[in-house]
Amino acid sequence: MSPLRRADLATLDRDDPLRPFRDRFALPEGVIYLDGNSLGAMPKSAPARLREVAEIEWGQDLIRSWNKHGWIDLQQRIGSKIGRLIGARPGETIVADSTSVNLFKLLAAALQLRPGRSVILSEPANFPTDLYIAEGLAALLGGHRLELVEPEGLEATLGPDVAVVMLTHVNYRTGRMHDMNAVTQRVHEAGALMLWDLCHSAGAVPVDLTRADADFAVGCGYKYLNGGPGAPAFLHIAERWQNQVTPPLTGWLGHAAPFAFETHYRPAGGVQRAVVGTPPVLSMTALEVGVDLMLEAPMAALRAKSVRQFELFAALVEQELAAWDFRIVTPRDAIQRGSQICLSHEQGWPIMQALIQRNVIGDFRAPDILRFGFTPLYVGYAEIWDAVAILKDIMATGAWDRPEHHARAKVT
């Protein structure tokens, strides 16, 4: 097979059906942005919409906007839209709080539904906040514990003490993707409930919660949904459980009649009961812009491009970077991975800082991972070539090994 050339990738760009989406995003000139899996790029229409919400809805219509501009329905409205991206039934998904807070609510709900069972089961490589929240809940409740097993050991560990299994669909560090349907089925066979964290899945890979028969899910708005920094998160409760659980954070907007100002809590019907306090409207506004844009894109085309971008990146790592010790830690089989490629290298930190200085933006995940996300709405094929070429140059010239690249930052 002849080696890949930049022109091959430029040709793919020319023929890319998703190419028009690139112009819908504001991206800085000269930057190759491969970190949309950490913070999605800004839709160009977001600032104008934010300005409208600030100047007209907040500034002019003031408190009346809760009714007039439907602020009170934002959580349901955006939740329904996200639901369409993850194969939810209508009324199962709602926007609220952060992923962490939502995990707490849903884990507590799952434990209510499995009163004789004391274990929350997860894997050691899950995103830390998932593990921390489960630990915190178990400590708060007493008599419960978080148990961690490698995915290969999951089936053997699924005993009668497991109440709920909590996994992140696509691993943040390696990009490995679980088989959602198969895992959910095994968990159900063991009498446990299944909670999926979709932070690296929603808007990134095809997800069908209904087909998988999942019980609960959470996910964030600021990665592939392009909802803006710290965008509110979403949560999903399968219809069959909604009226059987009372989430533990019983706030007024989850009350059956919030504006009756009753003394005692009565849960709202459906997923609305998982809402707690007043939502941050400005951040919700930007989230809706991102979600609306994502809904315009056909998921099959997104996925096909993402798979191809991974394969090209991987091929170029082998073709161009063989002289250095990069190891691809993301599974090569597309069915087993999300929309990112991760390379391990013991000098991962300074190498990534050198890349960022050269305007190739990925990120570093301890202890040794260089992470590059594929967001096919706004990342082109030739950019994959250019990113690898710059990485090669950094390695060949030793440019990564400068003092400033070794300095640690507060946020990585």
Shortest separation between residue 97's beta carbon and its own copies, angstroms: 7
Residue closer to its own copies (CB basis): 112 or 185 = 112
Active-site residue, 224 included: no
Cβ-contact 106, 239 below 8 angstroms:
no
Exposed, middle or buried, 281 (CB in 10 Å: 0-12/13-18/19+)?
Answer: middle
Shortest separation between residue 5's beta carbon and its own copies, angstroms: 29
C-alpha 238: how far from chain center: 19
Q: How far is CA 180 from CA 63, 196, 304, 331, 349, in A?
A: 43, 8, 19, 16, 32
Shortest separation between residue 317's beta carbon and its own copies, angstroms: 22
Structure tokens at 119: 């274990």
SS3 content of the chain, % helix, strand, coil (to 5): 45, 15, 40
Active-site residue, 215 included: no
Residue closer to its own copies (CB basis): 49 or 186 = 49
Active-site residue, 73 included: no
Which position among 363, 371, 378, 381 bears the catalytic label? 371
- Measured between its terminal Cα atoms, the distance across the chain in Å is 38
Question: Of 360, 337, 351, nearest to 402 (Cα)?
Answer: 351
Shortest separation between residue 73's beta carbon and its own copies, angstroms: 8
3-state SS, residue 195: strand
Residue closer to its own copies (CB basis): 66 or 324 = 66
Which position among 21, 104, 172, 222 bears the catalytic label? 222
Q: How far is CA 179 from CA 78, 167, 183, 236, in A?
A: 27, 11, 6, 19
Residue closer to its own copies (CB basis): 99 or 309 = 99
Which position among 197, 273, 305, 378 bears the catalytic label? 197
Active-site residue, 172 included: no
Q: How far apart are CA 5 and CA 267, in angstroms?
A: 60
Cis preceding-peptide flag for 267 (omega within 30 of 0): no
Cβ-contact 200, 330 below 8 angstroms:
no
Which position among 223, 308, 337, 358 bears the catalytic label? 223
Residue closer to its own copies (CB basis): 86 or 101 = 101
Shortest separation between residue 64's beta carbon and its own copies, angstroms: 7
Active-site residue, 197 included: yes
Residue closer to its own copies (CB basis): 42 or 180 = 42
Shortest separation between residue 149's beta carbon and its own copies, angstroms: 13
Which position among 21, 33, 104, 127 bears the catalytic label? 127
CB neighbour list of residue 225: distance below 8 Å, 6 or more residues apart: 40, 82, 85, 202, 203, 231, 287, 290, 291, 294
Give the active site residues. 127, 197, 222-223, 371
